[in-house]
Amino acid sequence: MIIDKLHKRVQDKGMVCVGLDSSLDYIPQEMKEKYQDTDQIIFQFNKRIIDATGDITAIYKPQIAFYEAYGIKGLIAYSRTLAYLRSEGHLSIGDIKRGDISSTAKMYGKGHFEGDFETDFITINPYMGFDSITPYLPYVESGKKGLFVLLRTSNPGARDIEYLESEGKKVYYHVGDKLAQMAEDFMGECGYSSIAAVVGGTHVDEAVEIRERYRRLYFLIPGYGAQGARGEDVRMYLKDNNGGVVNSSRGIITAYKKHEDGYENFDRYTREAVLGMREDIGFEG
């Protein structure tokens, strides 16, 4: 199953997920002048990051908003990036956060598990109800695709809804408990399910309880770096250096900006950012 592939990648390469939030503002001026067309600029930027980090990165996560914002050419770059990741044998998460039901969700599944935008995992939002998840299950049943479902997110506004109390427990625990039941039907040999959860690393008070409560859910952990979560914080959501991937976007893809010779040594500084992140979290590979 796809979760077994991810588990093995983390075991071998570490728990880093590189977020390809590839805004034109983040891209070196020299690269913009060289390639000129938006789709080429973004794709070549992504390709350079992937080539510099592929052997030390478990999975890549392009956030679709950063591509939709540039229209058709942005989506061409998104498609080319996913195709390149597949051709190089890398895993990917299409960070699309869809949250609709019925035929609409079915078409989202077709759009992002097949065709031009095909990816290994997608992120989805369950807060419209669990019938917003079921249309994707045939893809999960195939063993080739997986879901990262929003559980408890990293933003401060998570407390507005996710932390509300209902029937003696927080809303996100209602979501997590139901998700854990659903996940049991899609377990991999690694002991985790291909139905996984997004759990923000910026809230640490309940980290131990969440990891213990959802032992068989794999986690996508955003919030490291720019959003404030530290290595010691996100480590609490892992188990034996596995059980989840930790996302960093700006901290990696703009690492070159911290140095005067950033563009000339773009590959080196990008790679060093991933290596430093692995070490900070505690990877012992």
- Catalytic positions: 97
Q: CA-to-CA distance for 178 and 195, rounded, in angstroms?
A: 12
Tokens encoding 167? 């029937």
List alpha helices for the chain, DSSP H.
2-13, 29-35, 38-53, 65-68, 71-87, 102-113, 137-141, 158-161, 171-183, 207-213, 231-234, 250-253, 266-281
Strands 16-20 and 93-98: unpaired
What is the 8-class DSSP label of residue 120?
S
The β-bridge relationship of strands 121-124 and 146-152 is parallel
Instruction: Please answer whether residues 176 and 244 qualify as being in contact, where contact means their C-beta atoms are separated by less than 8 angstroms.
Output: no
39 closest CA partner among 51, 27, 50, 54: 27
Three-class SS state of 175: helix
